Structure formats: structure tokens, C-alpha cells
Amino acid sequence: MSSVVIVGTQWGDEGKGKIVDLLTRSADYVVRFQGGNNAGHTLVVNKQQYIFHIIPSGILYEDKKCMIGNGVIIDPAILLQEIGGLAEKGLPVTPERLMISENAHLIMEYHRRLDQAQEASLTKDKKIGTTGRGIGPCYVDKVGRVGIKVGDLLDEQILRDKLTAALEEKNFLLKEKFGEQPVFFDSVLANLLDYAEKLAPFVGNVSVELDLARTRGENILFEGAQGTQLDIDHGTYPFVTSSNTVAGSACNGAGFGPTHIDSVIGILKAYTTRVGEGPFPTELHDETGEQLQRKGGEFGATTGRKRRCGWLDGVVASDAVRLNGLTGLAITKLDVLSGQSRIKMATSYKLDELSLSAMPANVKEAGRVEPVYEEMSGWPSEINEITNYEDLPVEAKDYIKRIEDFTGVEAVIVSVGPDRDETLLLKDPFEV
């Protein structure tokens, strides 16, 4: 029995979905614990692509259970769309396969509208570049103790009371602050009651279910969303998301005790990408950056935005090792570096006369640091079809070794293509 947490080590889109899908074969439960449908997790199985925003990436295995923990925020329309989409593909999602925590909060229409209106009202240097999915405003309401929870869907009077109170404030903001149309009580309530009927069979106590699974000796896989540098506390604030994305969040976001976590695998893209605004020390504004963007197919899985690209950042990787207590690395998209004659990795930052080994907390400084690079030889040949670690070009193995030495964490998975099969599993994290 073991419990494994998967987290992103950079700014998201490291390939978490692919690795979660791969590891699900050894798991009994797959659990999302934070974030919402700002996430876009891509799986490719037998050349068929699936993108999940809210449903855990273990859902393609019919004998596994998927859980959406209390730390997740749920847009019910999107969740129902994903359930419907899977059913159309012949994969019915039944309450035996999916449980939603009664304590997860709901993303409401007014959260989306406020997220978009707020972003639109900001000057260019202040924009966060959010996904516009209502993430920030929903977490604000949760922390402000006025959010609407999944469990509230089962009690119409609570829904009516909370909605009445919320609309008084939200419509004031929409109309008076942003000059937007208000949201109407009757239509929001009607939608909620419709969602309630459809989602009620899925609602349960995820914490209790996971504890029972653990005591039965089953394997539990926790699926993080976003990445360490997007963490609300530890990321490049304010250019972050509104939840804790680090591994500790798996415990509070699912109701699972920290002493029961056995390993934490950090997903590390072999280079770096970022969507939206904010500091990105190793960003490339040249042809190499364009090449990584094109070869890596770096477009956002949620918003379709072009991802900014740059070299691997060892400072970011070290931050992730420390903040998540990583026990293993899954190095993804190594194939995208094929064809680069030289490969660079930042090993520290220079800030004026200072040398830094961690991302500065001050966002202006984070925007000003100069990466100090180490250069390595690249490899010319494509590596997608390699199934044996030993068969990788020697330069690729040297690159992996350098990452392991620099971070002090071993690589347990190397991914050489988007498909489930294009993966070198060096050590199964469930077999520790």
C-alpha cells in the first residue's frame, strides 16, 4: 500500500496528466485536491487525445476510483460536460467511479464574470493573465466564508439564502464597479437545482472514503494541478493561481493525514514554459524559444494561448524540491530538446552583485534576475521511439544525470512523447 503525490514543479503544464494516467495502472484511487478548471491535463492513449479540466486523469481506467477533494473548486457545468463527453466516448462515469467532496466549493457564474471583468479593468502591467474561469473570486469567497459548497446543492433553502446574500454584493460589484450586466437570481438558482439533481449521486465524504481505502491497503495517487511557482504562498505572487499547489495541499485538499504520504513525484519539463503574465527568468525571446514552442506544441490546454518558452531553470527546480519534499522526478518532453546542438540550464540567478539560489519573493526582483547558465551538448537524433533508458543518446543521459545531481533527486520516469507508451518508467513510485 502506498500514497503518491504528483505535483508540477514549474509554472504548470509539465505533463502531470500524462504521468498520472500512466501511474494509475498501479493505483486504486486517483484524487484531485486543489485548483479547478483552470487546469488542462492532456492524456494521449493509442493516439487518441483527452483533455481533462476537472475530472481526475485516472478516469480512463474503468476499474479505478476517481475522487474530487474538498480543496478543488468545481464549475458544475464543466464537470457535467466532461462526464457527458466521456459517456459519448463509451466511458460512462458512474457514482461508483467518481466521488465529489461535499466540502468542495462551487464556481458560480458571478465568479467567472468577476474574474473576467477584473482582468479587463487592469492596466497591462497589472494583468495576471488568468484563465478567466472564476478561480480567484471563488477562492476569495471560500476564504471569506461566503462560498457555496457542493453539499449545499442538496439543501435548497441553504442555496437560496447563500445566493441571495451573494448576489447583493456581486451584482453591486458587476454593475457599479465594472459597469456590467447583473446576474439574475432565478436563472442562477434554476441552473443550480438542475446541477443538484444530476450531481447528487456523486456527492460524498472523500476523506472518509480515502481513509477506508488506505486501511484496506489500497494505493492512492494524488493529482496536483498548476505548478509550484503558481502556488499562492510560494509562487511568483501576485502572478500565481489562488490555491496552494505544493504537495502539502494534497493533505488539506483531500482530508488525508500527512503521515500517510509515502512519496512525492515532481513533474519537471525538460525546459520551461509559462502561460499568462509574470516573471520568467529563463524565458527565450529568440528562435530557440520559437523552436521549443513549435516542437513542444506549446499552446494552453485550457485557453489555447501560446505558452512562453525557455531553458530549464535549476533554481525553480530546487525551489520545487524544497517546497514539495520531492522523492522522485518525472522528466517530461525530453524529446522536444532533440536537435538542439547546445542545451542550457540555469544553476543560479544574479541580482546586481548578489548570487541567488532561490526565486526572490519580491516580484520586481524576480523580474530582474539574470540566470547564470551551464551549457551542455545536445543530441541530434529523435528519441520518441526509444523504450529502453540505456538506448538514449549519451548526451540525453548526461542531461538527466546533471538534473539529478543538481537537484539531489533521482529521475524515476523519463517521458519521450505524449503517448502513454512513450515513457521510460525507471522505478514505479508505488513500489517503495
Which residues form the interface with ligand IMO (CB under 6 A)?
A: 8, 11-13, 38-41, 128-131, 133, 135-136, 225-227, 230, 241-242, 275-276, 301
Shortest Å, Cβ 391 to Mg ion: 29
Catalytic residue check, 13: yes
Burial of residue 227 (number of CB atoms within 10 Å: 0-12, 13-18, 19+): buried
Complex with Mg ion: residue 276 or 310, whichever CB lies closer: 276
**Using the rule CB under 5 A, which residue among 35, 40, 76, 429 binds Mg ion?**
40
Catalytic residue check, 105: no
Residues composing the chain: 432
DSSP reduced 3-state for 239 = coil
Shortest Å, Cβ 142 to Mg ion: 22
Complex with ligand GDP: residue 12 or 328, whichever CB lies closer: 12
- The Cα-based distances of 84 to 60, 173, 189, 375 in angstroms read 14, 34, 22, 48
Q: What are phi and psi of 402, to 5 degrees?
A: -65, -40
**Using the rule CB under 6 A, which residue among 336, 345, 411, 424 binds ligand GDP?**
336
The yes or no reply on residue 371 touching ligand GDP (CB under 6 A) is: no
In this structure, the number of other CB atoms found within 10 A of the CB of residue 84 comes to 11
What is the CA 346 to chain-centroid distance, rounded? 23
The yes or no reply on residue 56 touching ligand GDP (CB under 6 A) is: no
The entry of ligand GDP, Mg ion, ligand IMO, none that residue 137 binds, CB within 5 to 8 Å by partner kind: none
Complex with ligand IMO: residue 226 or 423, whichever CB lies closer: 226
Shortest Å, Cβ 400 to ligand GDP: 13
Question: Residue 314 — left, alpha, or beta (φ > 0 → left; ψ -120 to 50 → alpha)?
Answer: alpha
Within residues 275-304, the interface with ligand GDP by CB under 6 A covers 297, 301
Which among 15-23, 64-72, 159-167, 357-365 is the span making contact with ligand GDP, rule CB under 6 A? Answer: 15-23
Peptide bond into 238 cis (omega under 30): yes
The one catalytic residue among 21, 28, 41, 111: 41
Complex with ligand GDP: residue 257 or 297, whichever CB lies closer: 297
What is the CA 86 to chain-centroid distance, rounded? 21
Shortest Å, Cβ 10 to Mg ion: 11
Q: Give the x/- contact pattern for ligand GDP in 75-104, rule: CB under 6 A.
A: ------------------------------
Within residues 387-416, the interface with ligand GDP by CB under 6 A covers 415-416
Complex with ligand IMO: residue 209 or 277, whichever CB lies closer: 277
Q: Do β-strands 98-101 and 411-415 pair in parallel, antiparallel, or remain unpaired?
A: unpaired
In this structure, the number of other CB atoms found within 10 A of the CB of residue 229 comes to 29
Applying CB under 6 A, the site for ligand GDP has a residue count of 22
The entry of ligand GDP, Mg ion, ligand IMO, none that residue 417 binds, CB within 5 to 8 Å by partner kind: ligand GDP
Cα separation, 408 vs 389, in Å, equals 20
- List all residues 6 or more positions away from 47 whose beta carbon is below 8 Å from its beta carbon: 419
Q: What are phi and psi of 16, to 5 degrees?
A: -60, -45
Cα separation, 159 vs 151, in Å, equals 10
Which among 12-20, 140-148, 162-170, 190-198 is the span making contact with ligand GDP, rule CB under 6 A? Answer: 12-20
- List all residues 6 or more positions away from 328 whose beta carbon is below 8 Å from its beta carbon: 263, 264, 265, 266, 409, 410, 411, 412, 413, 427, 429
Complex with ligand IMO: residue 276 or 289, whichever CB lies closer: 276
**Using the rule CB under 6 A, which residue among 327, 417, 424, 430 binds ligand GDP?**
417
Residue nearest to ligand IMO (CB): 276
Complex with ligand IMO: residue 24 or 241, whichever CB lies closer: 241
Letter string b/e over residues 356-382, b meaning 16 or more CB atoms within 10 A of that residue's CB:
beebbeebebbeebebebeeeebbeee
Residues that bind Mg ion (CB under 5 A): 13, 40, 301
- Residues designated as active site: 13, 41
